[in-house]
A and B are shown apart, each in its own frame.
Chain A
């Protein structure tokens, strides 16, 4: 695994990319958001203090999904009316990256997917709206208007200072799970499945006092 190294424009700290395809990272020392252009690092912003977090997952947590080991390289934190949730950016041993979401300790792993169709505009969506991706039928179960609350670590794309973002959660008759992310045009589709905490065999978890 290549480890491009640079230094933070703001504080001069050494910046190391553990995930070779990372596009963005956050300086651990000064919270500067740094975007990679070839070999140069551009400081595009700064992360405010992350709100208090309740996820048992943290930077550096490792796990296994479908017999492939992964580690947590970064995350995007969102807030909405029912609290916050995390989209953990996970990187597998073969360099593939995906997302492990944790909302009130309900876990799902998703990967960017090709919709193979034009996704309807957000305004046309309502709960129970049906989709078919591949062999699987999905239904919109919740529409969530979330506020971007911060980023941490390495991400596979530039993602910072977003405003409100609309997400449509898709569920199926089985564990298949998906999300349509309306933060971009055209919207992004992520497909995967809900996963059992134990099945991920997570290590380096956060500890909670008394638990």
Chain B
């Protein structure tokens, strides 16, 4: 960006204090302010009529010095005026600052700044049409719906430089804001006339760069009405990414389970009566062929308000090597004051990873409650019938399930952040949830 041309500055003498008033508006302005004695002067009157003398507890220093030239939307603009305005909400004054920018060909622009949030504002020559959004007030302009955000009386509290309107300190307008981030439409009503303007959000960095300011501008605090959500655009894409990855994972899962080609190697039925002598027995020998793979042992019982413990040993017929493990099953159910309940299960399944090929058999030793006095229920002492099934090459789905869960985390987090950003934004509006109305509508 080339250095902006040197501004041509005209001056006039303040009719009140004789101080020098700089004029940069090339006669397009109506009022100029003497910074020395705080007089507002009618620059269109030959005698330089003093319109108002105002008081200020302290001078406000503009972040963009008047006379600074910058570039907005490709055009040079010079800061020629500055005002501080405020609204009162529940007795608290919220103050923001506005800069009058001028280009003799392109006319006037305005920059507003509140808590480090900036807007590049242009007066609209159109009247946005009334509309509604989710039952609430909105306006429509250029096919975009702007939601009503806030209405308030805004008053001018401090002025500097030049203005293309008849500015007065203390002057109040009824201002309404409608948002479609990063844009905002504002209307200002005074004496029956309504002026509309459109603002576009700017960051302090963008303003600093546009005006080649030496000093950094204050960082934004909080979320501004039309500040674009850094999350909103990413919500959709994060879900798309997650869905695509989950589809790939599902495909991979299907491929894996096809490749595993699980097959049953043993299925036997047994029964066990507690206290009926030697409980341990062995199953028929079965062959595990192929490569080293997993083996799933499933047990289905008819346990009913009872428990059983099964000690297993998977024994290699050739080497005699044994893998010992035990499984406890318990299944209870009943009915109490809270209704019916169940606890445990009468079936069980366990996956033994990495079993080398070979000829194997299982040694099984069931165990159940033997003391008859412990239970009033005769069924508890009945024999347990059960079925043992062994399956080789069983697809292992747990990693995939975990994968799905992990893939869901980023979009869920993103969605939550977007929601939280929007709720912070609307906290500053007329629709702040002072009571829990639970009426959060989605942003789309």
* In the bound complex, CA of A201 to CA of B103 (Å): 17
Q: By the criterion CB–CB under 8 Å, are B8 and A209 in contact?
A: yes
**Which of B126-134, B273-281, B304-312, B427-435 contacts the other chain?**
B126-134
Q: By the criterion CB–CB under 8 Å, are B104 and A194 in contact?
A: no
Determine if B343 is an interface residue (Cβ-Cβ < 8 Å). Answer: no
Q: By the criterion CB–CB under 8 Å, are A175 and B125 in contact?
A: yes
* In the bound complex, CA of A104 to CA of B44 (Å): 14
Closest CB of chain A to B110's CB: distance in Å? 13
Q: By the criterion CB–CB under 8 Å, are B28 and A54 in contact?
A: yes
* In the bound complex, CA of A174 to CA of B44 (Å): 32
Determine if B193 is an interface residue (Cβ-Cβ < 8 Å). Answer: yes
Determine if A76 is an interface residue (Cβ-Cβ < 8 Å). Answer: no
* In the bound complex, CA of A173 to CA of B139 (Å): 10
Q: By the criterion CB–CB under 8 Å, are B123 and A211 in contact?
A: no
Q: By the criterion CB–CB under 8 Å, are A104 and B125 in contact?
A: no
Closest CB of chain B to A107's CB: distance in Å? 8
Q: Pick from A108, A171, A175 the residue with the most CB of B within 10 Å.
A: A171
Q: By the criterion CB–CB under 8 Å, are A106 and B125 in contact?
A: yes
Q: By the criterion CB–CB under 8 Å, are A172 and B104 in contact?
A: no
Q: By the criterion CB–CB under 8 Å, are B105 and A141 in contact?
A: no
Determine if B18 is an interface residue (Cβ-Cβ < 8 Å). Answer: no
Q: Which residues of the other chain, A, contact B123 by a CB distance below 8 angstroms?
A: 106
B104-141 toward A: CB 8 Å interface, digit per residue (1/0)?
A: 11111000000000000001011111000000000011
* In the bound complex, CA of A141 to CA of B193 (Å): 7
Q: Which residues of the other chain, A, contact B141 by a CB distance below 8 angstroms?
A: 173
- The chain B residue with its CB closest to the CB of A202 is B105
Q: By the criterion CB–CB under 8 Å, are A173 and B28 in contact?
A: no
* In the bound complex, CA of A142 to CA of B123 (Å): 15
Determine if A118 is an interface residue (Cβ-Cβ < 8 Å). Answer: no
Q: Pick from A56, A105, A208 the residue with the most CB of B within 10 Å.
A: A105
In A159-211, the 8 Å CB interface with B consists of 171-175, 177, 194, 197, 205, 208-211
Q: By the criterion CB–CB under 8 Å, are B7 and A105 in contact?
A: no
Of A142, A172, A194, A209, the residue contacting B193 (CB under 8 A) is A142
Q: Which residues of the other chain, B, contact A194 by a CB distance below 8 angstroms?
A: 125-126
Q: Pick from B7, B44, B126, B164 the residue with the most CB of A within 10 Å.
A: B126
Determine if B192 is an interface residue (Cβ-Cβ < 8 Å). Answer: yes
Closest CB of chain A to B287's CB: distance in Å? 82
* In the bound complex, CA of A209 to CA of B53 (Å): 32
Determine if B26 is an interface residue (Cβ-Cβ < 8 Å). Answer: yes
Determine if B194 is an interface residue (Cβ-Cβ < 8 Å). Answer: yes
Sample (9) of A-B pairs whose CB atoms are under 8 Å apart: A54-B28, A83-B44, A104-B28, A105-B106, A173-B126, A173-B127, A173-B141, A197-B105, A197-B107
| A interface residues (Cβ-Cβ under 8 A, vs B) | 52, 54, 56, 81-83, 104-106, 108, 126-128, 139, 141-142, 171-175, 177, 194, 197, 205, 208-211
| B interface residues (Cβ-Cβ under 8 A, vs A) | 5-8, 26-28, 30, 44, 76, 103-108, 123, 125-129, 140-142, 164-166, 192-194
Closest 7 CB pairs of A and B: A105-B107, A210-B8, A194-B125, A173-B129, A54-B27, A209-B8, A208-B104
